[in-house]
């Protein structure tokens, strides 16, 4: 059994006292001892390797607190990247259509062409493509362009036909099919329920493509210090892909899967229950629900109208289901004993979930349920107070500050609400434990840049968005290590450098506490997973 002693560098343990020990000893895949160097040298086994940090920092490995692993791998290998600045370089419709056409020319007729990460708010024309524009790319390929948020998309005529969508197809409670003034379909499909399988991250992914994308995404996460990934909207098909991993095989990264809440109880009980391989590296976690959509599409559900309204019929956005139906789903999962993670971008969407949890707790009190609001970007102080009382936690999408912060201020929310975007400092004030996330592939998984977003709150345009909501570098790191582990009941096995925990560690190019303004300049030098250095 291999052993390694880490010395000669700042060690940030993220334990309850935020201690900074002199040395860490790992034996096999566990942390065996933490303390002063002399004591650990005295107890290290024969053959222990010495790892001189040479002033570089050792911290616990990062946990992905909300993402859609391995979707980034699918994008890299199988889809057309249409992202705009500051992430990509697709700046206008012509560029987008040219990229789709290039993919179509290399794709056999009849097979799908899928573009992703298209952002109507960042492209020159300020809109989604039309059905006619996608038809001009090809009439021989079904073409589907998914918005960067994952909450709407546009299909060409062949794609609509293949999906059975016609002028007679009715809107759903939480989804709409775009129509011109003459009633003809524009190709725009809004809302998860209306998009159907085209909105799933596993759309067009078979078993071979799944594992190819898995490996590509795993390598990206490991390179950035993430050893614990999430798939936070796991369809039945995706669950079956994950379940194809043999029971004893190590996939090279640990995983938490969040099945779609509406799949329960049938997913877990009855004749059609999922057969799970019980692989120790893959865990079924909270069940996932939604209350609303995305800010870029003005479908996030707000209590007050958008700063610059683009849809007069829905000036505050829209809920994805009625309060009655949402309460039913929350109560069902709560009573089944599941933890719930619920997508709530707007504060009115958060009200729906907070009210539903309050009702479920009143009927059936559960200690330490850790139900979680995902995104929570416009949470108000009164909501945070209620959350603290109800035991609700939150994971903030702080990367929005960089990628869309300027638009939040000018268009979506206006200056006052934008200055409270992802209000982590207020969460600390009211005693609500929180985490931070990237929501990959909406934004790429980059933990150090994410910490920079929450600590410095700088937009891509160079503005500071909400001085009062800045948090410390230590808080931002804890939110992606020990607090991230706690949020999904993993705090006993990972998230801090403590004896008995899994030896998942990251070596950084410098001490992240020394210059918080330069957090994004730090690099991951080395990722150690289960005691082994990852190549």
Q: Mean pLDDT, to the nearest integer, of 200-209?
A: 92
Q: pLDDT tier at 199 (50, 70, 90 boundaries)?
A: confident
Among candidates 156, 121, 124, 125, which has minimal Cα distance to 142?
Answer: 156
Crossing angle for the helix pair 400-407 and 447-456, nearest 10 degrees?
50
Whether the per-residue pLDDT at 431 is higher than 80: the answer is: yes
Q: pLDDT tier at 324 (50, 70, 90 boundaries)?
A: very high
Residue 245, exposed/middle/buried by CB under 10 A (0-12, 13-18, 19+)? middle
Q: Mean pLDDT, to the nearest integer, of 304-328?
A: 95
Strand partners, 63: 228
pLDDT above 70 covers a percentage of the chain that reads 100
Q: How many residues does the chain have?
A: 535
Among candidates 531, 360, 520, 366, which has minimal Cα distance to 454?
Answer: 520
Whether the per-residue pLDDT at 230 is higher than 90: the answer is: yes
Specify the pLDDT at position 526: 96
Task: Give 15-57 as a 3 state SS string.
Answer: CCCCCCCCEEEEECCEEEEEECHHHHHHHCCCCCEEEECCCCE
CA atoms of 389 and 384, how far apart (whole Å): 9
Q: Which residue has the tokens 């060690």?
A: 11
Give residues with Cβ within 8 angstroms of 395, minimum separation 6.
Answer: 65, 66, 341, 372, 373, 374, 375, 376, 434, 435, 436, 437, 487
Specify the pLDDT at position 98: 97
Specify the pLDDT at position 452: 98
Number of C-beta neighbours around residue 206 at 10 A? 11
Q: Mean pLDDT, to the nearest integer, of 124-136?
A: 95
Strand 23-27 versus strand 30-35 pairing type: antiparallel
Whether the per-residue pLDDT at 99 is higher than 90: the answer is: yes
Give residues with Cβ within 8 angstroms of 212, minimum separation 6.
Answer: 73, 77
The H helix count followed by the E strand count for the chain is 17, 23
CA atoms of 188 and 174, how far apart (whole Å): 14
Strand 372-375 versus strand 340-344 pairing type: parallel
Specify the pLDDT at position 223: 98
Give residues with Cβ within 8 angstroms of 163, minimum separation 6.
Answer: 155, 196, 198
Q: What is the pLDDT of residues 457-476, one digit of tens each?
A: 999 999 999 999 999 999 99
Whether the per-residue pLDDT at 174 is higher than 80: the answer is: no
Q: Mean pLDDT, to the nearest integer, of 138-165?
A: 94
Least-confidence region, from 164-168, 340-344, 529-533: 164-168
Among candidates 280, 227, 220, 286, which has minimal Cα distance to 259?
Answer: 286
Whether the per-residue pLDDT at 222 is higher than 80: the answer is: yes
Contact 457, 466 (CB under 8 A): yes
Specify the pLDDT at position 168: 84
Among candidates 364, 291, 288, which has minimal Cα distance to 323?
Answer: 291
Q: pLDDT tier at 275 (50, 70, 90 boundaries)?
A: confident
Specify the pLDDT at position 103: 96
CA 56 from centroid of its chain's CA atoms: 28
Q: Mean pLDDT, to the nearest integer, of 353-377?
A: 98
Whether the per-residue pLDDT at 258 is higher than 80: the answer is: yes
Specify the pLDDT at position 109: 96
Q: Which residue has the tokens 């309050």?
A: 358
Q: pLDDT tier at 248 (50, 70, 90 boundaries)?
A: confident
Whether the per-residue pLDDT at 524 is higher than 80: the answer is: yes
Contact 26, 42 (CB under 8 A): no
Specify the pLDDT at position 464: 97
Whether the per-residue pLDDT at 52 is higher than 90: the answer is: yes
pTM strictly above 0.85: yes
Specify the pLDDT at position 192: 79
Averaged pLDDT of the chain: 95
Q: pLDDT tier at 320 (50, 70, 90 boundaries)?
A: very high
Q: Is it true that the peptide bond before 90 is cis, omega within 30 degrees of 0?
A: no
Whether the per-residue pLDDT at 117 is higher than 80: the answer is: yes
Identify the H or E element spanning 72: helix 71-78
Specify the pLDDT at position 270: 85
Specify the pLDDT at position 161: 93
- Cα 263 to Cα 257, 272, 407, distances in angstroms: 13, 11, 36
Q: Mean pLDDT, to the nearest integer, of 157-174?
A: 87
Give all strands (DSSP E) within 291-398, no chain letters.
340-344, 372-375, 393-396
- Cα 273 to Cα 79, 240, 266, 267, 289, distances in angstroms: 32, 11, 6, 5, 20
Whether the per-residue pLDDT at 365 is higher than 80: the answer is: yes
Strand 30-35 versus strand 393-396 pairing type: unpaired
Whether the per-residue pLDDT at 26 is higher than 90: the answer is: yes
Specify the pLDDT at position 50: 96
Least-confidence region, from 163-167, 351-355, 394-398, 431-435: 163-167
């Amino acid at each position: 059994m291999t052993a390694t002693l880490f010395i000669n560098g700042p060690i940030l343990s993220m334990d309850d006292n935020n201690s900074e020990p002199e040395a860490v000893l790992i034996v096999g895949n566990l942390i065996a001892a933490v303390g002063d160097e002399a004591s650990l040298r005295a107890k290290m086994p024969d053959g222990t390797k010495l790892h001189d940090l040479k002033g570089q920092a050792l911290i616990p490995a990062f946990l992905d607190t909300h993402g859609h692993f391995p979707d980034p791998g699918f994008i890299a290998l199988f889809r057309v990247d249409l992202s705009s600045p500051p992430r990509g370089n697709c700046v206008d419709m012509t560029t987008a259509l040219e990229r789709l056409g290039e993919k179509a020319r290399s794709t056999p007729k009849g097979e799908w062409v899928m573009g992703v990460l298209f952002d109507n708010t960042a492209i020159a024309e300020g809109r989604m493509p039309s059905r006619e524009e996608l038809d001009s790319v090809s009439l021989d390929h079904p073409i589907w362009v998914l918005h960067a948020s994952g909450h709407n998309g546009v299909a060409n005529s062949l794609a609509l036909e293949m999906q059975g969508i016609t002028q007679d197809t009715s809107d759903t409670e939480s989804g709409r099919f775009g129509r011109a003034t003459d009633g003809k379909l524009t190709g725009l499909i809004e809302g998860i329920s209306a998009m159907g399988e085209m909105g799933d991250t596993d759309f067009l992914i078979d078993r071979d493509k799944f594992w190819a994308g898995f490996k590509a995404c795993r390598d990206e996460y490991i390179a950035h210090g993430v050893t614990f990934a999430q798939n936070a909207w796991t369809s039945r098909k995706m669950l079956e892909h994950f379940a194809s991993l043999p029971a004893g095989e190590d996939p090279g990264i640990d995983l938490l899967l969040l099945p779609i809440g509406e799949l329960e109880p049938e997913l877990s009980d009855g004749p059609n229950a999922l057969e799970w391989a019980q692989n120790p590296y893959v865990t079924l976690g909270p069940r996932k629900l939604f209350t609303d959509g995305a800010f870029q599409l003005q479908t996030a559900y707000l209590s007050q109208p958008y700063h610059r309204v683009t849809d007069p019929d829905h000036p505050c956005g829209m809920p994805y289901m009625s309060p009655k139906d949402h309460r039913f789903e929350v109560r069902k999962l709560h009573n089944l004993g599941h933890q719930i993670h619920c997508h709530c971008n707007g504060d009115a969407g958060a009200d729906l979930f907070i009210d539903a949890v309050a009702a479920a707790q009143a009927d059936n009190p559960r200690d330490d349920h850790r139900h979680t609001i995902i995104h929570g970007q416009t949470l108000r102080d009164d909501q945070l107070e209620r959350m603290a009382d109800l035991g609700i936690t939150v994971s903030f999408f702080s990367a929005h500050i960089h990628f869309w912060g300027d638009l939040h201020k000018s268009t979506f929310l206006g200056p006052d609400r934008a200055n409270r975007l992802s209000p982590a400092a207020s969460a600390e004030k009211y005693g609500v434990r929180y985490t931070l996330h990237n929501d990959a592939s909406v934004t790429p998984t980059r933990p150090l840049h994410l910490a920079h977003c929450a600590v410095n709150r700088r937009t891509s345009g160079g503005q500071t968005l909400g001085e009062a909501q800045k948090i410390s570098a230590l808080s931002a790191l804890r939110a992606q290590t020990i607090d991230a582990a706690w949020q999904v009941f993993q705090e006993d096995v990972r998230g801090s450098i403590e004896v008995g925990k899994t030896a998942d560690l990251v070596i950084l190019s410098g001490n992240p506490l020394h210059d918080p303004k330069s957090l994004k300049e730090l690099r991951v030098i080395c990722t150690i997973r289960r005691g082994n250095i990852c190549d």
